[in-house]
Amino acid sequence: MLTSLTLRNFKCFDSQDFPLSIVTLLTGQNGMGKSSLIQALLLLRQSHKAGSLRNGLLLDGEYVELGTGADVLYDGAHGPGADQITFELTFAEGSAMSFSFDALPRSNVLPLVTSSTEAGDVSSLLGSLDGSAPRTALPGFQYLAAERMGPRAVHPYSVHRVEHRGELGADGAHVVAFLDEHHSHRVHLQMQHPEAASDSLRDQVAAWLAEVSPGIRLNTQAFRALSRSSLEISFTSGKATSRQMRPTGVGFGVSYALPVIVALLAGLKGDLILLENPDAHLHPRGQAAMGTLVALAGASGVQVICESHSDHFLNGLRIAVKQRKLDAGQLGIFYFSRTNDGERIRHSVAAPVVDNDGRISAWPDGFFDQFDRAMMELL
C-alpha cells in the first residue's frame, strides 16, 4: 500500500505532500490539479513498464501523453533544482523511493538525475504499481480513465492483455473479454452483494450493476480466433424478461459503470486501482452505490484512489463509514482549489476529515456546497 506521494515542481505544484489512505478521494473544481496526483503514478508505471525508468521519465506512453518537460515543469520553479521534477513515495511496509528528473523543455523523455530507494530495488518497490510481484490470480493494478469506451456492438479481445496481463484497458475496452475470461473468479466476502446469485465475478457484477440499472442481466461471449467479444443485455422485472439487446441500445451509463465495477470486484488485497470519475453518466442512486462499492473494496484491502465531482458518491463513502463498513481512518479526502497571492496563481489542497459517524470536519468554500447555494437562491 502506498502511504504518501510528494510532488515537487510537477505541473501546478511547487511542493505538495499527499498522505494516502486505503481509499483516497480527490475532488475540487475543474483544472485545480486533481489529475496531477494520478498522472504522477501513471508516469512512473508507464516508464517502469517500458524499461526506461532507470534512465528517464517517459511523458508520452501507454497511459498518459503529457508532452515535453516544458509542459510538466512547475511554472514558478526557482532556486536550486528549479529545472528538476521530483516524485517521492513511501509504502506501508516502511520502504520508500524518490526520483528526480531533468525537465528538458523540448523532450518527452526526462533524464533521471538522481534516485534513491530503501528496502529494495526499483522493480520490487514498483510492484505495488506494476503488478509484477508473484500473483496467484488477477494482476494488482487497474487504471480507468475519465474517457471510457461507450456502448459498442462488438468489443476487442486481446489474449495478451486479457489473459496474460489481466487488464481492462484505460478506456475499459477489454472489460467484456475480461469478464468472460474471469467470470468464475470469487469476489472477496466484504464486497459481495447480498442479492447476488453466487460469489462469482459474473453474478456479483450483475448484482452491483443492478444498483445502477435495476433488473439488468449480462451475457458475454468471447471469440478468440476473431479477437472479438460481445455483450448482450436484458432486463427482468418480476416474472417478465426483456429481449436481449446490444449495449448500443441501452445507453452510456451501463457501459461506463461496467469496467469500474469489474475492476473493483476483481481486486485483491494489496492491489492498486486508479479511477477517474467512476460515477460518470450515472443516476444519483447509482453514484451513491458506486461510493459504497469503493468503500467495500477498501475494506477488503484494495487501495483505491479516485477522482469525483459527485456529492452522491461522497455520501456513499460517508454512509459506509457510518455503517462501519469502512474505518473512518481508512478514508482520505483532498479538496483542490486555486488562489491568487497577488503575484501568481497558487494551487492549494485541503484535507477534510471524516469522523466515525460520517460527518466531515470542515467544509472549505466550494466543497460540495452547490446544493446549499442553489437552495438559498430558490428559497
Dig out the grid coordinates for 42 from the structure. Answer: 501513471
pLDDT computed for residue 53 by the predictor: 87
Q: What pLDDT is stored for residue 133 in this prediction?
A: 41
Q: What is the CA radius of gyration of the chain?
A: 21
Q: What is the pLDDT of residues 102-157, one digit of tens each?
A: 999 999 999 999 888 765 555 555 655 554 443 333 448 899 999 999 999 999 99
Long-range contacts of 52-58 (CB under 8 A, 24+ apart): 52/109, 53/99, 53/112, 53/122, 53/126, 54/112, 54/115, 54/122, 55/111, 55/112, 56/101, 56/109, 56/110, 56/111, 56/112, 57/85, 57/99, 57/101, 57/109, 57/110, 57/112, 58/108, 58/109
Kindly give, in sequence order, each residue whose CB lies less than 8 Å from that of residue 79, ignoring residues fewer than 6 positions away: none
Q: Which residue has the higher pLDDT, 159 or 9?
A: 9
Return the percentage of the chain with pLDDT > 90, whole number: 73
Quickly tell me which residue has 476483481 as its cell.
266
Comparing CA positions, the residue from 83, 51, 45 lying closest to residue 64 is 45
DSSP 161: I
State pLDDT tens for residues 82-91: 899 999 999 9
Question: What does the block give as the cell for 201?
Answer: 465475478
Query: For residue 80, what are the contacts with CB-CB under 8 A and spacing of at least 6?
Result: none
Judged against a pLDDT cut of 90, whether residue 346 lies above it is answered with no
The pTM (predicted TM-score) of the whole model is 0.92
pLDDT at 161: 85
pLDDT digits (tens, 9 = 90+) for 347-372: 889 999 999 999 999 888 888 888 88
Q: Residue 215: its pLDDT value, please? A: 92
| C-alpha–C-alpha distance, residues 130 and 142, integer Å | 9
Distance CA 34, CA 315 (A): 19
Q: Give the model confidence (pLDDT) of 216-267 as tens digits.
A: 999 999 998 899 999 999 999 988 999 999 999 998 999 999 999 999 999 9
DSSP per residue, 100-122? EEE--TT-SEEEEEEEEEESS-H
CATH code for 1-134+310-379? 3.40.50
Confidence of residue 95 (pLDDT cuts 50, 70, 90): confident
- How far is Cα 275 from Cα 280, in angstroms, rounded to an integer? 11
Number of neighbouring beta carbons within 10 Å of residue 344: 8
Instruction: Determine the 3-state secondary structure of 328 from DSSP.
Output: helix
Cell numbers describing residue 128: 505495488
CA distance 273 to 269: 11
- Mean of pLDDT over the chain: 90
Residue 174 one-letter amino acid: H
| The residue to which cell 528528473 is assigned | 101
- pLDDT score of 335 more than 70: yes
Distances, alpha carbon 9 to alpha carbons 102, 294, 295, in Å: 11, 31, 32
The H or E element that residue 177 is part of is helix 175-181
Domain range summary for the chain, segments of one domain joined by +: 1-134+310-379
CA dihedral 130, 167, 280, 270 (to 10 degrees): -40
Of residues 233 and 159, more confidently modeled: 233
